Structure 1
Amino acid sequence: MSDAKSDFDYDLFVIGGGSGGVRAARVAAGEYGARVGLAEEDRYGGTCVIRGCVPKKLMVFASTYRDAFGDAREYGWDVNDGPFDWHIFADKMRSELDRLEGVYRNLLDGSGVDKFDARATLKDAHTVTLSTGEEKTAKHILIASGGRPVRPDLKNAELGIVSDDIFHLESLPRSMLIIGGGYIACEFACILHGLGVDVTMYYRGGQILNGFDDEARGLVAEQMRARGIAMHSGASVLEMEEREGGIWTKATTGAEKIFDKVLFATGRKPNSDNMGLEALGVEMERNGAIKVNEYSQSGVPSVYAIGDVTDRVNLTPVAIREGMAFVKTVFGGEPTPVDHELIASAVFTQPEMGTVGMTEEEAEAQEPIEVYATSFRPMQTAFADRSDRVMMKLVVSKANRTVLGCHIVAPQAGEMIQLAGIAVKMGATKEQFDQTCAVHPTMSEELVTMRTPVRTS
C-alpha cells in the first residue's frame, strides 16, 4: 500500500456511502491501515439499504399476508382478513432504515474512516472538493456514487413518482399506474397489489422482464394477471395531467383513465453528473456510466469506480465484491479482476423468480442444448385450493453436460437460486445434479429429479 506519510491527506477517498463504498473504505482502513476519507451527500447505506433492496423486501413480506390469511383458513385456522395499516408498517420500516444507517456509520467509525456529510466533486486527479468548501487530497479516489431512477421526457412527468418515493408515501393510493415492465415495475406491482392497491401496468414490449428466460417470465406474467394485476403490453403514456380525482392519463393505445398515483419504473441512470469527471478526462458511456477496466480503474490512473455508477452488473452484492477486489488490488498488492460471470439473482415478484447463468434463448444461440423443465402446483397452495403454479428449469450443454442455466419461478425462489448458483458456478453437470438425492417433499427436489429433456436443439 502507499506510504503512511505521503503528501496526500488520505491514501483513499471514497465518494459514496452505499454498500460498495462503505465496504471498500472500512476494509482499506481496518485491514490494511490506509488513511481513508468518505463523503456521502445523502444517507449512509445507499440505494440498497435506504431506497431499494431492504425496504422493498420488507414491503414484499408485508404484501404476502393477504394470501396467508386465506391459506390459513384452508388449513383450519380461524382468522379474519384485517385491514392493512400503512402508517404502522411505514413507521416501523423507517425506524429500521434509521437503525441500519446507524450501523453503517458505526462500521466506518470503528474502522477509523473520516466521514464527511457532504457532496464531493473532483477538482483534479488527486483532489476532491466538498460542498462544505473543504478540499481533500488522496493518492487514490474511488467513486461509488450509485445510480438513481429517472423520469421519461414527458410533459407533466413530475406528477408521477419514482421508486425512491414509494417508501415516503403518506398513505397508500387506491389505484396506481405503473409504467415499465422491468423487475422494479413488476416487483412493486405485486407488492402494491398485495397491500390492496388497484394496480395497472403499461409496458412497451410484448412481455415483462426483458432479458430473463422467456418461459420463466411468461409464467410470472401469467401468475400476476391471475392475481388481478391489469397488464397492458405495447403501451405507454402519451399525456398526463392533474385533474379532480387524481392524475389523468392517455395511453398510446388510446385508453384514458384517472389514477391516484403514477409510478415511473422506466430506468435508472448513474450518479456521475456534475462531478468534474469529463474535465478530468475520465471516459464515460453515453448514459453517464464511468468506463473502467477489469480492476475498476478508469482512464485516469488514480480514479477508480465501482457499483451502479459503472453500470456493469447493478446489484448490491456485486458492488461489494467490486469494492473488495479494488482494495485487494490497490492496498493488498494482489491484482484482483472482478468476476462478473454466473451471478445469481432474484426478482421478488409473486411468485419470485430466481435465475443464474444463461437463458434458454442465449444458450440455444451459442450451442446445441437440452432443456429440462417442469411446472406444477406446489403442495402448500394446492391444498389451499389456489391455482398457483411453479417452474423449475435447467439448460444443459449437449457437448459437455454442464448446466448452463437454472431458472426457478416459485415462492422463495431467491433462497433456492442462491444454493443452485453454487453448483452452476462450480460447473456442475446434469449428471451431478441427478446424483444428488432429493429432499422430499419440497419444490426444489424437482431440480434433481428431472430425467427426460422437454426440448433439444
Structure 2
Amino acid sequence: MTTREFDTIVIGAGPGGEGAAMKLAKTGQRIAVVEAHQRVGGGCTHWGTIPSKALRHAIQMLADYRRNPLFQHTQHQIEIEFPDLLRAADGAIDDQVRTRFRYYRRNRVEVVFGRAVFLEPNLIEVRRARGPSERLRAKHFVIATGSRPYHPPDIDFSHPRVLDSDSVLGLQQTPRSLTIYGAGVIGCEYASIMGALDVKVNLVNTRDRLLSFLDDEITDALSYHLRQQGVVIRHDEVYEHVEPEADGVVLHCRSGKKFKTDYLLWANGRAGNTQDMGLEEIGLAPNRRGQLEVNASYQTALPHIYAVGDVAGPPALASASYDQGRFVGAHIADGECGWSLIEEFPTGIYTVPEISSVGRTERELTAAQIPYEVAQADFKSIARAQITGHTVGMLKLLFHRETLEILGIHCFGEQAAEIVHIGQAIMSQQGSANNIRYFTETTFNYPTMAEAYRVAALNGLNRLF
C-alpha cells in the first residue's frame, strides 16, 4: 500500500477542522482533510447548529404568522407538522455543504472521505466501508472530530421512542407529548421549539435553575416564557431508569416522580468523537467523555498532534471551534501564534425568544464585590420592536459605577444573538475606550434594534446621578 505525504492532516471537516485547514492552506502547506461522513460540514452542519437553528427560524415564522392580524382569517387553515419544518432546514444544510466544499477546492485542500485511524504518531490509515483503504503521513495533525450525544449504557437508544439531539431530526410526526431530560442549551432550545408546536413538554432539569451560567434575570425570563408555552419545568431531578413501552416512554426519577410521554429526548451531555481512532496505541488517552487534554496552544501530549473544538472540551461552540482551528493553523505554520483567543466569547441560545450574553453576570460581580450598575432597555419601548411585533425582551448592560467600564451584556428577545456583538466590540476595547458613554454619544439608525444600546446607556447613567 502506497503512502501519500502531506504537511498537515486535519481530521474532521466541521468548524474547527475548516478553520485550521483554511489558515494552513494560506501559508502554502499541502493539506488534507479527512472526513468520516460523505459530506463536509461536520455535526454542526448536519445534526447540530444549522438544522436546529433553521428549525427554530421556521417556528418563529409560524408564530409571527399566527400573531399577525392580517392573517387572522386564515390562521385556522394552517396545519404544520414537525417533518414539514425539518424539510425547511434541508435547503440551508445543502447550501452550507456546497459553500464549505467550494472553500476547500478553491484553496487546494484535498478532502479525503473515510475514517482516520492512527497506525503511528505520524501515520494514519483512512478506512472506508466501500472501497480500498489508504495511508497518509504528515508532520502535524489536527484532531477536530467533534462530538455526539452522550448515551448512558443503561438506556436503550435503539428503541424508536428514545431520542437524542441527532435522532430527533428523524421524527416522522409531531409528538403529542415529549419529555426532555437535560435542561442545558440543547434541552431548552428543543423545549421552546416543541412548545411552540403545542406539544406537551416536560423539561426535566438536573440542576436548581435553567442555564445557571447566564444572568439570573435572563433565566427567570426564559423560565416564564417556556411556561407560557405550556412547558412544565421540573428542577433538581435525576433519572433512575428509563422504561420504553410500545406506546411511549416512562422516565423514572430518584425523587419518585414518573413522566410518561410519547417520546423521550435525552439532552444531557455530549461525548467527543475519539473512539476507534487508535489514539491509545500512540499514547493519547481520551477522558471518559472522549475529550483530549490540551495545553494553551491546543497541543496534546504529543506536541505535533493538536485537538480543537468539542474534543478539546469547553466551550464546545461552533464559533469558538473555528477560532481555535485558525489559532492552531497559525501555531503550526509559524511555531507560535502572535495573537490570542478572546476570553470573553459570546453565547447564543436559540430559544423563542433567543438569548445572548457576553461578560460577567450580576451574581459574579456581586461575589467579586465589584461596584456595578445596571443599564436596561425594554424592547417594548423600542420602535423597531413595535413595528415587527417582537416586543418581548430586553437589553441589559452591567457597568462599573466609577470607571463606566462595560462588564457584561445580556440580551433576551428577537435578534439577541446579533445585537450582542455591538456591545461586545466596545467591551473588548482597552482602557477608557470601553465606556458606556459610547452608546450615548453615537448616532444609531432609527428605527433599529441597535437603538436599545442608547436607551439602556441613558437609563444606566441616570441611575448614577
- TM-score, normalised to structure 1, is 0.89
Structure 2 residue 418 is matched with structure 1 residue 422: no
The counterpart of 1:350, out of the listed 349, 352, 357, is 352
Deviates more, 1:248-257 or 1:353-362: 248-257
- Pairing 1:306-317 to 2, within 5 Å after superposition: 306-317=308-319
Deviates more, 1:124-133 or 1:303-312: 124-133
Q: Which residue of 1 aligns with 2:169?
A: 167
User: How far apart are the structure 1 equivalents of 2:275 and 2:195?
Assistant: 35
Q: Which residue of 2 aligns with 1:4?
A: none
Q: Alpha carbons of 1:231 and 1:454: their partners in 2 closer, same or farther (altered >3 Å)?
A: farther
* Alpha-carbon offset, residue 304 of structure 1: 1.1
The counterpart of 2:192, out of the listed 183, 190, 193, is 190
CA RMSD between the two structures: 2.8
The counterpart of 1:362, out of the listed 361, 364, 369, is 364
Q: Is the 8 A contact 1:345 1:417 kept in 2?
A: no
User: How far apart are the structure 2 equivalents of 1:419 and 1:163?
Assistant: 31
* Alpha-carbon offset, residue 23 of structure 1: 3.0
Q: Which residue of 2 aligns with 1:296?
A: 298
User: How far apart are the structure 1 equivalents of 2:166 and 2:71?
Assistant: 40
Question: 3-state SS of the aligned residue for 1:11?
Answer: strand
Aligned residues: 446
1:400 aligned partner, one-letter code: T
* Alpha-carbon offset, residue 77 of structure 1: 6.1
CA deviations 1:96-133 (Å, max 9, x no partner) are 42342233233222322222211112222211122243
Q: Alpha carbons of 1:11 and 1:155: their partners in 2 closer, same or farther (altered >3 Å)?
A: closer
- Pairing 1:11-410 to 2, within 5 Å after superposition: 11-29=7-25, 31-42=26-37, 43-73=39-69, 78-81=73-76, 82-132=78-128, 133-156=133-156, 158-159=158-159, 160-282=162-284, 284-332=286-334, 335-336=337-338, 338-374=340-376, 376=378, 378=380, 389-398=392-401, 400-410=403-413
* Alpha-carbon offset, residue 67 of structure 1: 2.7
* Alpha-carbon offset, residue 66 of structure 1: 3.8
- TM-score, normalised to structure 2, is 0.87
User: How far apart are the structure 2 equivalents of 1:214 and 1:306?
Assistant: 31
CA deviations 1:270-289 (Å, max 9, x no partner) are 22223232332336455332
Q: Is the 8 A contact 1:16 1:143 kept in 2?
A: yes
Question: 3-state SS of the aligned residue for 1:354?
Answer: strand
Q: Is the 8 A contact 2:274 2:291 kept in 1?
A: yes
Q: Is the 8 A contact 1:372 1:453 kept in 2?
A: no
Q: Is the 8 A contact 1:437 1:448 kept in 2?
A: no
Structure 1: state its 5+ residue gaps. Answer: 1-6
Q: Is the 8 A contact 1:12 1:141 kept in 2?
A: yes
User: How far apart are the structure 1 equivalents of 2:108 and 2:386?
Assistant: 55
Q: Is the 8 A contact 1:360 1:371 kept in 2?
A: no
* Alpha-carbon offset, residue 195 of structure 1: 2.5
CA deviations 1:17-52 (Å, max 9, x no partner) are 1122123223423x2221111211124101211111
User: How far apart are the structure 1 equivalents of 2:385 and 2:126?
Assistant: 58
Structure 2 residue 409 is matched with structure 1 residue 413: no
User: How far apart are the structure 1 equivalents of 2:379 and 2:99?
Assistant: 42
Structure 2 residue 459 is matched with structure 1 residue 450: yes
* Alpha-carbon offset, residue 402 of structure 1: 1.3
CA deviations 1:255-311 (Å, max 9, x no partner) are 334211110110112222232323323364553322222222222121111111101
CA deviations 1:216-259 (Å, max 9, x no partner) are 11111111112211111122432332324212333334333421
2:34 aligned partner, one-letter code: A
User: How far apart are the structure 1 equivalents of 2:377 and 2:108?
Assistant: 52
Question: 3-state SS of the aligned residue for 1:378?
Answer: helix
Q: Is the 8 A contact 2:360 2:408 kept in 1?
A: yes
Question: 3-state SS of the aligned residue for 1:269?
Answer: strand
Question: 3-state SS of the aligned residue for 2:233?
Answer: strand
Question: 3-state SS of the aligned residue for 2:459?
Answer: coil
Question: 3-state SS of the aligned residue for 1:12?
Answer: strand
Q: Alpha carbons of 1:124 and 1:147: their partners in 2 closer, same or farther (altered >3 Å)?
A: same
Deviates more, 1:149-158 or 1:294-303: 149-158
